[in-house]
Chain A
Amino acid sequence: MSGMSPKTDQQEPETDTHATGKPAIDSDSAQMVACIPRLRRYARVLLGDSGAADDLVQDTLERAWTRRHSWRGGGDMRAWLFSIMHNLHVDQRRRQGGLTVVINDEAPAPPARATQADTLELRDLDAALALLPAEQREVLLLIALEDMPYGQIAATLGIPLGTVMSRLSRGREKLRLLMSENTSQTVRRREAR
């Protein structure tokens, strides 16, 4: 406030950052802040809803902050944050009853032909991704968006490397079929006109 400085700084409650700019940032926080844009993008693509995505990011940052002492400075801050976000997301899905427990991850993929309803709903890649099981979507996104090494993905998600590879393989194939179903459906609709 133009007319209220410099006294404002001394009298303002802790909750106010407008006059002093951003909150004071230590090096852990600075690293955390640097990861925020990537966390936000990943969460948006993962959840398909920017409001829910920012909520998940906020929960992630809060949990990370309270547990920052468990993160030993030398590690990869990004992988640590993504693993926190993954755990929160799993909790969230479990609460919503949407978590399918994968009993046999290595079982052959079911015939990945999209149902009629699914196909009609498909408009773009976003929609196709949303039809993948979250477990497969996570792996695809950590690779495509984050370019994360397979081993780090395994550690981040708390699963064996073999499971990363099988989820990747199944996710990609299902996405391919969904997209090609979508394309052929669109073509058929165009031809019908």
Chain B
Amino acid sequence: MNQPTITDADLQAYVDDRLPSARQADVETFLREHPDVAERVRAYAAQNAAIRTLHRETLDEAIPEHLLRAATGVGAPPKRAPWFLAFSSDGIAWRVAAGLVIACIGAMAGWAGRGTLVSEASAPQAGVTAEAAASLPRWAAMAHRVYSPDMKRPVELGAHEKPLLVKWLSRRLRTPIRPPTLSAFGYSLIGGRLLSGPQGPVAQFMYQDASGQRLTLYVSGEHTAAPREKEGSFRFAQEGSVNVYYWFYDKLGYALSADIPKTRLEPLAASACRQLETS
């Protein structure tokens, strides 16, 4: 009796259920007569099934914003050199764009002052003016909204130049400042930038987790009149989708902003607050 030749490719296609039914029957006959091969084929089918279970969760995860933006042609990854190191025309274009963004902040501040601030803070504590207390989270949230979605250049100086970043911002704010470590919460520092606040220079540090979620720490040196606040006396404000925890310490105003629920932001802010007060 003539037995059809079964090739290795037939066996593979059998595993993947891609054979025409006649050929499939031939393979099944062959496998009945070759239990060792049948055993292998079963193992291969089990591999397929097992591989299909790997990282299934990815299919149901929300697509990170930076990937959505990449798929729609908005923005590029923050892996090129900072603009002031790039001498390309692209770098120059960005300088102009950055100027416009800063101008936008100024323009936005005008009407932002009329916005509704959802704040759970009690009356501002002695020494911190009501105006300062209210404007800090608002400015911080606005800076968060402007810079954190930026894929191309979210920061001016990257975390790989942290010593330079810290030195630069400390010099501009005229006081030593240091970004806290939030890696215990899955957030790593990606860098920082200098901003213009209502009363002077502001440092913004940006952090990112593995999913691309970003949070920013806004450090304002404007509160020179504020006395030392009690440890942990931080407050919460909400600006649209941006949640902000903020506090004042040693002449500086701090605000941690993110588009994450208050309950998730709170331990991060508490940790940052503790670190900054003990550094």
Which residues of A are at the interface with B, using a C-beta cutoff of 8 A?
A: 1-4, 7-8, 11-19, 22-25, 29, 32-33, 36-38, 40-41, 44-45, 50-51, 54-55, 57-59, 61-62, 64-66, 125-126, 129, 140-141, 143-145, 149-150, 165, 168-169, 172-173, 175-176, 179-180
Contacts and interface: CB of A to CB of B under 8 A. Distances in A.
A7 B12 CA distance: 61
Interface residues of B, number: 68
A15 B146 contact: yes
B226 interface: no
B66 A58 contact: yes
B150 A15 contact: yes
B199 interface: no
A176 B118 contact: no
A179 B44 CA distance: 11
Given A18-B259, A29-B71, A37 B61 contact: yes
Interface in B14-28: 15-16, 18
Nearest to A149: B18
B74 interface: yes
B126 interface: no
Contacts of B118: 2
Given A17-B69, A37-B63, A11 B55 contact: no
A3 B115 contact: yes
A169 B71 contact: no
B71 A16 contact: no
Contact of A4 (B75, B101, B112): B112
Contacts of B72: 22-25, 29, 32-33, 65
Given A22-B68, A33-B68, A143-B16, A1 B241 contact: yes
Contacts of B150: 15
B112 A62 contact: no
Given A15-B150, A33-B63, A125-B51, A2 B239 contact: yes
A58 B146 contact: no
Interface of B: 8-9, 11-13, 15-16, 18, 40, 43-44, 47-48, 50-52, 54-56, 58-61, 63-77, 97, 100-101, 104, 107-108, 111-112, 114-118, 141-142, 145-147, 149-152, 210, 212, 238-242, 259
A179 B247 CA distance: 55
Contacts of B111: 4, 7
B50 to A, nearest CB: 5
B44 A51 contact: no
Contacts of A19: 145, 240
A144 B47 contact: yes
A23 B88 CA distance: 27
A150 B71 CA distance: 27
A129 B51 CA distance: 9
Given A169-B8, A176-B40, A176-B44, A145 B52 contact: yes
A141 B55 CA distance: 12
B12 A172 contact: yes
7 contacts: A12-B145, A17-B74, A23-B68, A40-B61, A125-B54, A169-B8, A176-B47
Contacts of B48: 143-144
Contacts of B149: 15-18
A41 B58 contact: yes
Contact of B77 (A25, A40, A59): A59
A36 B60 CA distance: 11
Nearest to A63: B70
Given A33-B68, A54-B212, A16 B146 contact: yes
B68 A4 contact: no
A172 B44 contact: yes
A57 B145 contact: no
Contacts of B15: 172
Contact of B64 (A54, A173, A175): A54
A54 B55 CA distance: 13
